């Protein structure tokens, strides 16, 4: 299965991510697929290697899902890592995609969760359309 992204698709995804960033106070968002490839990013990753981050995130996410499955859980409701300065929040977009949100103490987990939940719906719709169009691969 290959995914073809048009200018328009990328534009829509970026707008959704931008909107989420400005309303949540998070500073960077990445949209990646479950195999670890970066699709789109928004905000300021500063010196971060976003490509390596994407690969590691997908692996981490995959491992965590497997742990949930072994424990008889469907999935864990909250995936979040807290650091001294940086925090990372993960949201599942349908079955194939993940949104990674980076934020620091200028905002809160509560607000980030609220705003990401909203944009998850939007992104899920966008990707349903894209996948629909790419069917038959």
Partner 1 sequence: MAFINFSSGEIQCKIIYYGPGLGGKTTNLRYIYDSTNDHIRGQLVSIDTKGDRTLFFDFLSLDLGKIRDYKIRVQLYTVPGQVHYDATRKLVLRGADGIVFVADSMRVQREKNIESLENMAINLKEKGIDATKIPLVLQYNKRDLEGSNIPILTIEEIERDLNAHFKAPFFTASALKGDGVFETLREISKLTVRDVSRKVLSKGQT
Site for partner 1 in 68-87 (CB under 8 A): none
Of 31-39, 74-82, 83-91, 120-128, the window that binds partner 1 (rule: CB under 8 A) is 31-39
Q: Which residue has the tokens 């909107």?
A: 19
Q: Is 56 a binder of partner 1 (CB under 8 A)? A: yes
**Which of positions 93-132 make contact with partner 1 (CB under 8 A)?**
96
Nearest to 36 by CA among 114, 125, 96, 103: 96
Query: What is the smallest separation between the CB atom of 126 and partner 1, expressed in angstroms?
Result: 14
In angstroms, rounded to a whole number, what is the distance separating the alpha carbons of residues 98 and 116?
11
Question: Looking at 61-69, 77-85, 102-110, 111-119, which segment touches partner 1 (CB under 8 A)?
Answer: 61-69
Applying CB under 8 A, the span of 49-57, 71-79, 85-93, 120-128 interacting with partner 1 comes to 49-57
36 contacts partner 1 (rule: CB under 8 A): yes
* Nearest in space to 42 (alpha carbons), one of 55, 33, 32: 32
Residue whose token pair is 């409701």 = 77
Cβ neighbours for 4, distance < 8 A, ≥ 6 positions apart: 133, 134
CB closer to partner 1, 22 vs 37: 37
């Amino acid at each position: 299965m290959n995914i073809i992204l048009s200018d328009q698709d990328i534009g829509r995804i970026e707008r959704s991510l931008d909107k989420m960033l400005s309303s949540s106070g998070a500073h960077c968002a990445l949209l990646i697929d479950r195999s670890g490839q970066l699709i789109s990013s928004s905000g300021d990753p500063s010196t971060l290697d976003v490509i390596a981050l994407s690969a590691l995130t997908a692996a981490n996410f995959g491992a965590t899902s497997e742990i949930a499955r072994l424990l008889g859980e469907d999935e864990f409701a909250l995936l979040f890592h807290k650091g001294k300065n940086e925090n990372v929040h993960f949201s599942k977009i349908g079955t194939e995609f993940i949104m990674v949100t980076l934020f620091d103490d200028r905002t809160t987990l509560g607000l980030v969760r609220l705003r990401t939940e909203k944009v998850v719906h939007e992104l899920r719709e966008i990707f349903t359309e894209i996948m629909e169009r790419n069917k038959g691969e």
